[in-house]
Amino acid sequence: MMKSVPPAKTDVSRSRWRDQVGDLFERWSFLMPSILVLTVMLAYPIFYTIEISFASFDIATFGAGEWIGWANYEEVIGDYRFWDSLQVTLIYLVIALPLQVTLGFGIAFLINAEWWGRSALRALFIIPMVVAPVVAGGMWRMILDPLWGIMNYWMGLAGISSLDWFGDPKLAMAAIIIIDTWRWTPFIVLIATAALLALPKDVFEAAKIDGANWWSTLWSVAVPLLVPIIAATFVIRWLGAVKMFDIVLAATYGGPGKATNIINLFIYEEAFRSLRFAESAAMAVIVLVLTMVLTGIFLRGSRKLEELF
């Protein structure tokens, strides 16, 4: 009888090593295209922006010139317009985000009941989402125009006097929030509807048996169960809202005065109208850092809420 010879120890380790290398190669070969695309499309522009923000912009080469340290950042921090734009952006975010999340979940809860038109209504809700932001801004500019718009006409029929939507600073901000809310609330309604449908039915049945009314069911059962979803939706919407630009450009041009001059519009104007690319890059980096910090805080808060509920 022939005795099988066990493979030498070195052969086994060599084969295992070969397998490991092959496995690694395979994984990286799948990852490489994405890494390459991300590097070219995302990392390079970010590093380029950071480079420009620390240099004088050489218009003759259209690139970073002399290294000037923090001078662009000092210039930006000393510009009252930058702070005003941040303040305007903050006002918009503080009002628009809670409004949209509350409205979105509220509407979802209301239309969650079984009725014949539910599917059609859900489909209609998608329409504002597919309208391009610039088109939405332009369209609402026509609707709200004090001279030609239909909104003031309708308000007149109801006995309400005309409003100067784009001439009054507060109304102009309200107009931006209305347009943005019109466009984005349906997105939250869709998420909230899916979340509501996924909630365990037995909990609601138990609440019903215990005699909970509509309000108690909403406040003590549905909302606690939905808190993690609400938090996650808030973070998703936040990431979209900080990019706000096109609607303002199409509806108010940042006016009247500086009333709706949000930070992204200000950065765009400084870069492409004033050709102050270095200062704009510094602003963009500051906004990027602020956004990352706030997003981190929101994500942490969202995780805490998930643990709590």
Partner 1 sequence: MEGMEKKTSAGRRFVLKGVAGSLILAVMPLAAANAEGGLGATGNPVEVKIMANEAFANSWQTILVPEFNKAFPNVKVRIDGVPYTELLAKMMLDATSPQPEYDILLADDPWVPQLAQIGALKDLKSDEISAMTDKGYDWDDFNAAPLAAGEWNGKQYAVPVRSNMLLMFYNRALYEKAGVPEPTPQITWDQFFANAPKLVQDTNGDGKPDSWAIDTYFVREPLTPTIWQSILNSNGGALLDASGAPAFANQVGSKSLEMHKRLLEFAPPGALGHGFSESLQAFRQGIVANMITWGSVYKATAVDKQSTTLTVEDVGVQVLPVGSTSAGTHRGIWIAGVSSKTEKLDASWAFVQWLTSKQGESINASMVGSFPARKSTLASEPSEAWLKPIYKTLQNAYDVAATGKMWRIRNPKSDAAQQILADEIARGLAGQASPEEALKTAAGKIAKVLK
Q: Which residue, 109 or 140, is less far from partner 1 as judged by CB? A: 140
Could you tell me the smallest distance in angstroms from the CB atom of residue 60 to partner 1?
Answer: 5
Secondary structure (DSSP) of 127-180: HHHHS-HHHHHHHHHHHH-TTT-HHHHHHHHTTPPP--TTTSHHHHHHHHHHHH
Distance CA 223, CA 230 (A): 9
Distance CA 88, CA 248 (A): 12
Q: Does 138 bind partner 1 (CB under 8 A)?
A: no
Q: Does 261 bind partner 1 (CB under 8 A)?
A: yes
Q: Which residue, 226 or 262, is less far from partner 1 as judged by CB? A: 262
Distance CA 187, CA 153 (A): 29
Q: Is the N-terminal amide bond of 256 cis, ω within 30° of 0? A: yes
Q: Which helix (H) or strand (E) holds 79?
A: none
Q: Does 167 bind partner 1 (CB under 8 A)?
A: yes
Q: Which of 253, 290, 305, 309 binds partner 1 (CB under 8 A)?
A: 253
Tell me how many residues contact partner 1 (CB under 8 A).
Answer: 34
**HSE value, Cβ hemisphere, 13 Å, CA-based, for 265:** 23
End-to-end Cα, the chain, rounded Å: 68
Could you tell me the smallest distance in angstroms from the CB atom of residue 273 to partner 1?
Answer: 5
Could you tell me the smallest distance in angstroms from the CB atom of residue 286 to partner 1?
Answer: 19
Taking contact as CB under 8 A, which single stretch among the options 8-16, 34-42, 91-99, 159-167 is the one that binds partner 1?
Answer: 159-167
Site string for partner 1, 176-215 (x = CB under 8 A): ----------------------------------------
Q: Are 74 and 282 in contact (CB under 8 A)?
A: no
Q: Does 280 bind partner 1 (CB under 8 A)?
A: no
Taking contact as CB under 8 A, which single stretch among the options 42-50, 193-201, 213-221, 255-263 is the one that binds partner 1?
Answer: 255-263
Tokens 């009333």 — which residue?
259
Enter the DSSP assignment of 60: T
Distance CA 264, CA 288 (A): 11
Tokens 């990019």 — which residue?
243
Q: Which of 64, 101, 254, 285 binds partner 1 (CB under 8 A)?
A: 254
Distance CA 212, CA 200 (A): 16
Instruction: Give the residue among 179, 180, 185 at the shortest CA–CA distance from 107.
Output: 185
Tokens describing residue 95: 């009002």
Q: Does 91 bind partner 1 (CB under 8 A)?
A: no
Instruction: Quote the radius of gyration of the chain (alpha carbons, Å).
Output: 27
Q: Which of 88, 89, 276, 286 binds partner 1 (CB under 8 A)?
A: 276
Q: What is the three-class DSSP state of 56?
A: strand
Taking contact as CB under 8 A, which single stretch among the options 91-99, 126-134, 268-276, 292-300 is the one that binds partner 1?
Answer: 268-276
Q: Which residue, 88 or 286, is less far from partner 1 as judged by CB? A: 88
Site string for partner 1, 41-80 (x = CB under 8 A): ------------------xxxx----------------xx
Q: Which residue, 93 or 259, is less far from partner 1 as judged by CB? A: 259
Taking contact as CB under 8 A, which single stretch among the options 18-26, 109-117, 163-171, 186-194 is the one that binds partner 1?
Answer: 163-171
Give the interface with partner 1 as residue ranges (CB under 8 A). 59-62, 79-81, 145-148, 162, 164-167, 169, 172, 252-259, 261, 269-270, 272-276
